[in-house]
Every structure is written in structure tokens, then in C-alpha cells.
Structure 1
């Protein structure tokens, strides 16, 4: 049945990939990566346009998946997705939501797990969209660029593209997340120190004032 759906979407070219990517972020169990590769093989010169269509579709589908999780909760996840996918994603979210979304953009776990789970756990929507944009853009455009530069011979290269991105890009992205969180923590500590300082000065001044 799913193969029939893919064959149907393939007839519409970039628009088919757009729809597939949208559904991939909401409910469809087959990653848009497979349709992107198939369409890129047909016409490698359109690979970058295909990557753009897939990326936009994913971004538009992300808030829809989020609202499903927000309104229906985890019960819908366990009905449409595998328990091990949900448990793995939940564990990552509990440790670091941003990292979970970035890593989830490249793992075999369907991305819809992270969009719906974000809604279930009340993860900020704007942060979900921001980190999803980084992760999904990386994956879509790496595949697109490879086909655009190397044509049909890129088919062998993209088979393990998720692994390569995971090894190279994800550590860099996670370092960026860690650095940003560390910078914010230092800034908050500085603000807190400035807030506490006047209070301490007032207390000392009061103690030094002689009583009448």
C-alpha cells in the first residue's frame, strides 16, 4: 500500500515530494528521503529544487505534528508508531530536547515522532521549528547537492548519507547547542550577580547606620 502511495506521489515530481515531506512530519511512516532519491535519479539537474520542496514541506508539517501531540497526547503515538521509537525519542527529550530534535533529523526514527512528542511534552514550538529547520535542511540539501554535482552516480553516495551526516554534522551542531546554552547560563549568572549586589550594599549600609 505504501509503495502505491509513493508511486502515486512520484508522478507529481517536486509537488509529490512536498506532500510526502509534509506527511512525513505528521503521520506517514516512510521517510521522504526515499522519494527524494528516486526523483533525483530521474532528473539530477532538479535535485536542488527537490531538496527545497522537501524542506519547505517538512517545515510546514512540523507544527501540524506538534498540534496533534498537543491535543491528543501520547495515546496517539502508541497507536500509530512503534513503542521502541517513542521510548528512544522520549529518553532523548528528557536529556536534551534540542539535541533530540537535531539527532532525530538523521536517525531512522521517523521525524513525526519528534514533532508529535514535542507537543506531548510542551516543548516550545518555535524551538522545535528552529532546530528542525537546521537538521532537515542539512539532510535534504546534502542529498540534493550530491545529485546536482555528480548526477546519477551519486546514488551510491547517498545510501549512507544519514550515517555521514550523523558522524560529521551532528557533533558540530551539538557543540553549537552546548556553547549557546553555556553562554546563556553565564549571562544569567552575571545578571543574577548584578541583581544581588545592590541588595547586599543596602544591607551593609543599614547595618552601619547608627540607631537614634
Structure 2
């Protein structure tokens, strides 16, 4: 079943839209909250079509993602109790709560311990929204949270812009070709991470 390919194609159509810059900003914003497709897949063809503006597009995406991160943080902080019953019915609540405990443990250790954890997590394929919500639920201090989101998201966006500037169409084609296995690999990693948190909690 192809799930990520069709969403990727729609995102590519957005990249060719005359208001593509605004659509990139919107995608970057909602991806930090709930959307499953990262903004890099729209950023790449935009950088390819206008290589000299690639880093400008990356900056717009980063700024929008930071606003989305704040929204995701406060949704996690204030709406967590509302969504808990739904997650319980889906059988996801226990594993998510154990995941939250990892962030909480780092936060208790020190504000900058959670900062480095979130920065390193930004290098993983786990979506940004997982960490924005978890940080809000735990109550990670805003300064280390924002700095970790800035570093974690920024390096990915600017690396895409740089890769397209250097690799050109070949780099963009590779992203298009492998979007489906990449997408499913991310889902497998997320399920595996949830299982690890669950086992870790039972072993504690």
C-alpha cells in the first residue's frame, strides 16, 4: 500500500504553486504539530527550481517550524488530558507515557540535559511533533526547548538546501525515488521506539 508517495506528490504540486513560499511556511508549521510529511520534501524541489534562494527558503521553513513547535508545545501542555482517553482506546497511552518519562527524566536532571537530548533526537527520523508535544507535556523549560528545536530542525533544512545546491536534480530525484521506503521506515522506527519504551517501563 502506497501511503507516503501520494502525499509526496501533492507536496510537490505545492512546490510548483505560485504561492509556494507561503505553502512551504504552512507545511512547516503544521508538520511541527500533526502533519506526517516533513517540509524537506517541498523544500527540495523549490531549492532545485531556484538554487540561489535555497537557503532563504530553508530560513522561511525554519521560522514557521519554530512557531509550530511553540503551538505543539502548548497543545501538549494544556490538551494532554483531553486526548488521553482517545489514546487509551487506541492502545497507545501506556507506550506514549513511558516515552514522556524519558524526556521528564532528562528534564529533572537539568534543563541543558534535556536540551542535548532533544538536539540529538532531532537527528533521528522521529517526527518533530513527537518532541514538541512531549516537551509541553513534561514542561521542559522554554529556552532549552526552543534552542533544541532551532538546532535540530535547522540543521536538517539547511542540509537539504546545501545538498540540492551541490547535487542538483540528482539529489532531488533520489528523495523522490525513496520517499515510500523512507516513510515506512520512519513508521517502523516509531513503533520500535514505542515498544522499547514499553519494555523499559515494565523492566523498571
**Aligning the two structures, in what range does the TM-score lie when normalised by the shorter sequence?**
0.5 to 0.7
Matches within 5 A, 1:160-179: none
Q: Which residue of 1 aligns with 2:118?
A: 101
Q: Which residue of 1 aligns with 2:145?
A: 128
CA contact (8 A) 1:77 1:113 kept: no
CA contact (8 A) 2:8 2:37 kept: no
For structure 1, the residue ranges without an aligned partner over 5 or more in a row are 163-212
Provide the C-alpha distance between the structure 2 equivalents of 1:127 and 1:95, rounded to a whole number of angstroms.
15
For structure 2, the residue ranges without an aligned partner over 5 or more in a row are 1-5, 107-113, 183-204
Provide the C-alpha distance between the structure 2 equivalents of 1:75 and 1:154, rounded to a whole number of angstroms.
42
Q: Which residue of 1 aligns with 2:136?
A: 119
Q: Which residue of 1 aligns with 2:100?
A: 90
Given the two structures, how large is their TM-score scaled by the length of structure 1? 0.62
Provide the C-alpha distance between the structure 1 equivalents of 2:84 and 2:159, rounded to a whole number of angstroms.
30
The structure with more radius of gyration: 1
Describe the shift of the 1:15–1:72 C-alpha distance in structure 2 as closer, same or farther (beyond 3 A). Answer: same
Matches within 5 A, 1:183-202: none
Q: Which has the higher contact order (CA 8 A, sep 6+)?
A: 2
Q: CA RMSD in A?
A: 3.4
SS in 2 for 1:154: helix
1:36 aligns with 2:46: no
CA contact (8 A) 2:45 2:172 kept: no
CA contact (8 A) 1:46 1:148 kept: no
Alignment coverage as a number of residue pairs: 161
